[in-house]
Structure 1
């Protein structure tokens, strides 16, 4: 095992134990993609005690709400402990879940100075940007900025800022952040799953995860892509 692999394995074990402590369950496996200023943690075979009964009664929203509550304590611990383990000063932690697949994704974002400099995009990224802008305009507005970050050959992170509409801003001001997240999550999934993302990227999408920093008017989307055949 290389030093990098050993380092990643240590982070995986730490995050798995933290999930057990805060959620009462640990995933079967965690895949870590560390590419500063981002770290993606993909969880597989992750479900909590008693969720099966709730899902049978069509209470998926309650499952997600409970996970969001539990996530608060986990975020506090990870924000304090991850910097020493991954070498990044954590600015934000985000999460989304695929309940049916028993998978989830945690995203850690490091402190960084944002410049929003113009970046040269290749043809694939230009096509993807057009699709993302059109999709955003259907439920929000055209983002002020959209960043496309390839974390690996099969992990693509999209960062959008300045996309909230007035009613969303008012809901956040009134303290309805959790209600807004619960409402936007399924809508965003349906919207992006119906958009021609795969055609733009040229690869099948295995999973899609989204989360928001409403205070900063920022959205993160992580696409897990099928690996290229060799």
Structure 2
């Protein structure tokens, strides 16, 4: 356990430094959770003065596009850092922002263990069903869905097989970035509309919801950041 805690602290420090170097300002706090095969990195108060100015002028789209381009360059460096510190080989890497909260998430997924840990939690079926309903409205119900509660603050939902044919064609034609931004806005809006329902199922307050996709794998991660100190 001490080894994991040490790795989490070391990663938080190193990631903060990398983000400061590339963005000019790092997050105020970083919370790293290593729960194999997952690693989540939750960023709080991460917004540069220039980004805040753009958001004030209603240019959120510019901020999202710029961050996405930066993260495409940064992802390999972050994956290598995670491997060096924790020993985890990251096969998939996802990220998302909630600019209104000045927060963000990085999610790494490594190889599945032969005997995976038990991340089950009460009412998982209801949570997964509601996420599936959101998918059905936004694109289509996933071919596969499952969720894991990694700790008292972090719940991850994995969806596989959610892209519809028009989305696949847009990706093929090179419209991956606008599709990502559109889906992010649509799906997060639908999830936040159901926030109280998710809170009722989980018996806890939800501080943040993040969504991202790997279009090549036709796979998506949703992360709920829970606040165990504020129960419903």
Q: What's the CA shift for 1:113?
A: 7.8
Q: CA RMSD in A?
A: 2.2
Q: What's the CA shift for 1:128?
A: 1.2
Contact 2:120 / 2:148 at 8 angstroms: preserved in 1?
Answer: no
**Structure 2 CA distance, aligned partners of 1:96 and 1:192?**
14
Contact 2:156 / 2:221 at 8 angstroms: preserved in 1?
Answer: yes
Which contiguous aligned blocks of 4+ residues in structure 1 show a shift greater than 4 angstroms?
119-123
Corresponding position of 2:210: 209
Corresponding position of 2:184: 185
The 1:96–1:120 alpha-carbon spacing in structure 2 relative to 1, beyond 3 Å, is closer
Pick which of 119-128 and 144-153 moved more: 119-128
Q: How does 1:58-207 map to 2 (within 5 A)?
A: 58-112=58-112, 124-195=123-194, 196-207=197-208
Pick which of 173-182 and 6-15 moved more: 6-15
The 1:187–1:37 alpha-carbon spacing in structure 2 relative to 1, beyond 3 Å, is same
**Structure 2 CA distance, aligned partners of 1:228 and 1:127?**
22
Corresponding position of 2:20: 20
The 1:19–1:157 alpha-carbon spacing in structure 2 relative to 1, beyond 3 Å, is same
Corresponding position of 1:10: 10
Listed as ranges, the gaps of 5+ residues in structure 1 are: none
SS at match of 1:26: coil
The 1:52–1:122 alpha-carbon spacing in structure 2 relative to 1, beyond 3 Å, is closer
**Structure 1 CA distance, aligned partners of 2:68 and 2:155?**
24
Q: What's the CA shift for 1:151?
A: 0.7
- How many pairs align? 226
Q: What's the CA shift for 1:179?
A: 0.8
Q: What's the CA shift for 1:49?
A: 4.0
Contact 2:43 / 2:105 at 8 angstroms: preserved in 1?
Answer: yes
Contact 2:156 / 2:222 at 8 angstroms: preserved in 1?
Answer: yes
Query: Which string of whole-angstrom CA distances, capped at 9 and with x for unpartnered residues, describes residues 123-145 of structure 1?
Result: 50111122111111111111111
Q: What's the CA shift for 1:75?
A: 0.3
Pick which of 64-73 and 42-51 moved more: 42-51
**Structure 1 CA distance, aligned partners of 2:225 and 2:119?**
23
Corresponding position of 1:222: 223
